[in-house]
Amino acid sequence: MVVVEDRSMEEGLIRQRHQNDRNDRRITACVILSTFVTVCSSFSFGCASGYTSGSETAIMKELDLSIAEFSAFGSFLNLGAALGAFCSGQLAVTLGRRRTLWACDLFCIFGWLFIAFAKVPVYLAEITPKHVRGALTSSNQLFQNCGLSLIYFFGTVINWRVLAIIGAVPCFIQVIGIYFIPESPRWLAKIGSGKQVENSLHRLRGRDADVSGESAEIQAMTKMLEEDSKSSFCDMFQKKYRRTLVVGIGLMLIQQLSGAAGLTYYSNAIFRKAGFSETLGSMIFGVFVIPKALMAVIFVDTWGRRPLLLASAAGMSIGSLLIGVCFTLQGMNILPELTPVFVFVFILVYFGCFAIGLGGLPWVIMSEIFPVNIKVSAGTIVALTSWTSGWFVSYAFNFMFEWSAQGPYFLYYFSINLKTD
């Protein structure tokens, strides 16, 4: 009799597990809508990243800005990101994922409209089914590059004020769309709302889905994480975490001091200095940025994190060195017909290598190396390091480029090699 009961219980558990697996593999319209609404902010951020490149000449002429003033304008994106890194984690915990997105949209819309008339992957990871979580979460980076591509492609042919309106459109879409998507079930579990967890999961997995198992798993995991994550800010400076913190900060410094922000924000100025067509260069680059965003996804599973980072750093250092050499030859009036083309080609090499490793992997590694009890505080410090160093690079680039066309690239070459060594 006991054997029969045990067998019946085991069969029931197996059926429940299969049912949960089927529920977890369902991709509902709500999941697709939620993903689209969320990545609208990534699209807008991509537009902001490339905005200064195509609009530089027109803005400086129309608003009578100096190099220093325009460099300050171009670097404000990094300062805003640094402030966001400091505040967004606590906002997402306090207000919830949806309200945090909505609040950020208001600031973003105000910023774009101010330009015209004068950014949460965590949510995706928490709502998507496990078997497509990586793909849907990576759409964040893909949409960011789509925004960058749009600005590069049309930036030289559309008025800079119109570009600012285009950048704000995804934010308006998100503001409206947020009212039609559910709150993250993990955040609802965190605030102790068990019934709302199931309601949110029903919207995401389907009204007829049995979500009791997934709901119980989320609540149990949330409770366990809260018990394990009780720590103070100073805990991350303990000796046992020192190496991990140095690795996280070091990766962000390599990423930013490689000069990617300067090349992204002011690529048209580089094309112009090299003698390459701004319109042609910007449009080709606009087409190039989307497939380059997919390269890391393709290579990361076959190469692994460390080899991909080393290959990326090596390619970027070679690209920086060769760009510097080309500008040196141009200054000596050697191969004047070929150096503009070579500069453009080596910029593509540089950005292709940046995309497969240093562009996104430091953020992935950061999320993996910190234990739960210091993840928030250490993540904040590392993100602040990234955006403040990015601000320095983006602000200083124009000054260095005016001083010496080849100088910044030789500095980036030595910076990459010094850090990786």
List pLDDT tens digits, range 241-282. Answer: 888 888 888 888 888 888 888 888 888 889 989 899 888 888
pLDDT range class, residue 26, cuts 50, 70, 90:
low
pLDDT range class, residue 327, cuts 50, 70, 90:
very high
Q: What is the mean pLDDT of residues 390-401?
A: 88
The predicted structure's pLDDT at residue 141: 67
Distance separating alpha carbons of residues 222 and 230, to the nearest angstrom: 13
The predicted structure's pLDDT at residue 119: 43
State whether residue 277 is helix, strand or coil: coil
> Residue 33: what residue type?
L
Average pLDDT in the chain: 77
Which is more confidently placed, 19 or 170? 170
pLDDT range class, residue 89, cuts 50, 70, 90:
low
Range in 193-197, 301-305, 362-366, 386-390 with the lowest mean pLDDT: 301-305
Q: What is the mean pLDDT of residues 44-63?
A: 77
Task: Please report, rounded to a whole number, the percentage of residues in the chain having pLDDT higher than 70.
Answer: 77
**What are the residues whose beta carbons fall under 8 Å from the beta carbon of 199, sequence distance 6 or more?**
182
DSSP string, 150-172: HHHHHTTTS-HHHHHHHHHHHHH
- 69 has a pLDDT exceeding 50: yes
Most confident of 61-65, 74-78, 109-113, 319-323: 319-323
Is residue 213 exposed (0-12), middle (13-18) or buried (19+ Cβ within 10 Å)?
Answer: middle
Distance separating alpha carbons of residues 34 and 17, to the nearest angstrom: 26
Which is more confidently placed, 320 or 175? 320
The tally of CA atoms less than 13 A away on the side-chain side of residue 268 is: 23
- 134 has a pLDDT exceeding 70: no
Q: What is the mean pLDDT of residues 325-343?
A: 90
- 346 has a pLDDT exceeding 90: yes
Q: What is the mean pLDDT of residues 379-408?
A: 86
- 6 has a pLDDT exceeding 50: no
Percent helix, percent strand, percent coil in the chain, to nearest 5: 85, 0, 15
The predicted structure's pLDDT at residue 153: 79
Distance separating alpha carbons of residues 379 and 402, to the nearest angstrom: 35
167 and 112 Cβ atoms separated by less than 8 Å = yes
